[in-house]
């Protein structure tokens, strides 16, 4: 195996820090370890950084280094290097959840452990969205956004099996678009936030165009299933 040294443009080091996260992991001793490629600027220990998706919160870099494959600590990292810590590039779209559900610990006294477990899962799975909520009946919990029903099932199972969390879940819901009589539009994933009917002109929800391929003997059952789920038949080939 031959090592290839690639020189970088020195002018890139004096620009503001800009980097792309391509992997990360959670370490119980060090916390979140982020692997990045630096495109502009440089990164040093103790430096304050922000993430493009959440610029309100500032993080401090505890240590920086490279893997060759052995992990080696360094004083600073410069543009062109691939390392472990930093901030994302502009232009990458945030993943939008399609299904929402409330999750609560079965015992409210275990909320801190439940919260920490969900946050660790979110570190490993950026498509999981979290919003802290409080229920008069179930206590503190989270409004969670998932890519779909299977994603929701996987997250709940991981909470139970990997983190030993006993949880309570609410039925899944989707994003609704509420059109008011005055023309204003509200998008919400929580049916409880939909106002009274006298102010509403109409309510819309997401739909999909679906093509189903099936043997002839199952056609009747599938047609009945689609009809029960408010499906609209368009054509048959």
pLDDT, tens digit (0-9, with 9 covering 90-100), for 219-234: 889 889 888 888 888 8
Can you give the residue range of the structural domain that contains 196?
Answer: 176-205
d(CA 87, CA 60): 11
138 in any annotated domain: yes
Q: Is the pLDDT assigned to residue 199 strictly greater than 90?
A: no
**Mean pLDDT, residues 140-167 taken together:** 94
Q: Phi/psi of residue 147, each to 5°?
A: -70, -30
186 lies in a domain?
yes
**Residue 6 pLDDT level (bands cut at 50, 70, 90):** very low
What is the rounded (10 degree) CA torsion for 162, 168, 174, 177?
-130
Give the per-residue pLDDT at 46: 82
- For residues 89 and 92, give the distance between their C-alpha atoms in angstroms, rounded to a whole number: 7
CATH number at residue 48: 2.40.30.10
- Under 8 Å between Cβ of 121 and 158: yes
At 82, is the secondary structure helix, strand, or coil? strand
70-84, 123-137, 164-178, 212-226: segment of lowest average pLDDT: 70-84
User: How confident is the model at residue 94, as a pLDDT?
Assistant: 67
Residues 72 and 116 in one domain: no
Percent of the chain with pLDDT over 90: 27
Q: What is the pLDDT of residues 95-127, one digit of tens each?
A: 788 899 999 999 999 999 999 999 888 888 878
* 73 domain residue, yes or no: yes
Which residue bears the tokens 């060759």? Answer: 68
Count of structural domains, the chain: 3
SS3 content of the chain, % helix, strand, coil (to 5): 25, 35, 40
Report d(CA 210, CA 86) in Å as an integer. 41
Token pair 């820090």 is at which residue? 17
What does the pLDDT read at residue 166? Answer: 94
Structure tokens at 160: 């139970």
Return the pLDDT at 35: 81
Cα–Cα distance, 186 to 224 (Å, whole number): 33
Tell which residue, 178, 176, 111, has the closest CA to residue 141. Answer: 111
Hey, what's the torsion of the CAs at 59, 64, 66, 67, to 10 degrees?
-70
The residue from 59, 83, 107 where one domain ends is: 83
Is 92 inside any structural domain?
A: no
Clarify whether residues 159 and 187 are in a common domain. Answer: no
Whether residue 93 is contained in a domain is answered as no
Q: What is the mean pLDDT of the chain?
A: 80
Per-residue pLDDT reduced to its tens digit, 48-97: 877 766 666 787 888 887 777 777 777 777 775 544 444 444 555 667 88
User: Among 122, 126, 120, which Cα is nearest to 94's?
Assistant: 126
The verdict on 153 and 197 lying in the same domain is: no
Residue 129 lies in a domain: yes
């Amino acid at each position: 195996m031959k090592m290839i040294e690639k020189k970088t443009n020195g002018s890139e080091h004096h620009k503001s820090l800009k980097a792309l996260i391509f992997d990360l992991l959670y370490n119980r001793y060090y916390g979140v370890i982020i692997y990045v490629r630096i495109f502009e600027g440089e990164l040093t220990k103790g430096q304050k950084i922000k993430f493009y998706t959440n610029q309100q919160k500032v993080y401090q870099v505890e240590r920086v280094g490279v893997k060759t494959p052995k992990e080696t600590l360094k004083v600073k990292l410069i543009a062109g290097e691939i390392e472990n810590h930093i901030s994302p590039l502009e232009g990458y779209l945030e993943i939008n959840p399609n299904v929402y559900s409330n999750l609560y610990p079965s015992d409210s006294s275990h909320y801190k452990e439940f919260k920490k477990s969900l946050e660790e899962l979110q570190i490993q799975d950026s498509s999981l969205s979290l919003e802290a909520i409080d229920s008069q009946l179930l206590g503190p919990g989270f409004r969670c956004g998932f890519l779909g029903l299977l994603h929701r099932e996987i997250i709940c199972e991981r909470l139970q099996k990997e983190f030993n969390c006993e949880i309570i879940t609410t039925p899944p819901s989707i994003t609704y678009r509420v059109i008011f009589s005055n023309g204003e539009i509200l998008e919400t994933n929580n049916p409880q936030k939909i106002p009274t009917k006298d102010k509403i002109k109409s309510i819309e929800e997401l739909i999909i165009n679906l093509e189903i391929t099936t043997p002839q003997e199952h056609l009747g059952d599938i047609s009945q299933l689609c009809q029960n789920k408010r499906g609209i038949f368009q054509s048959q080939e």
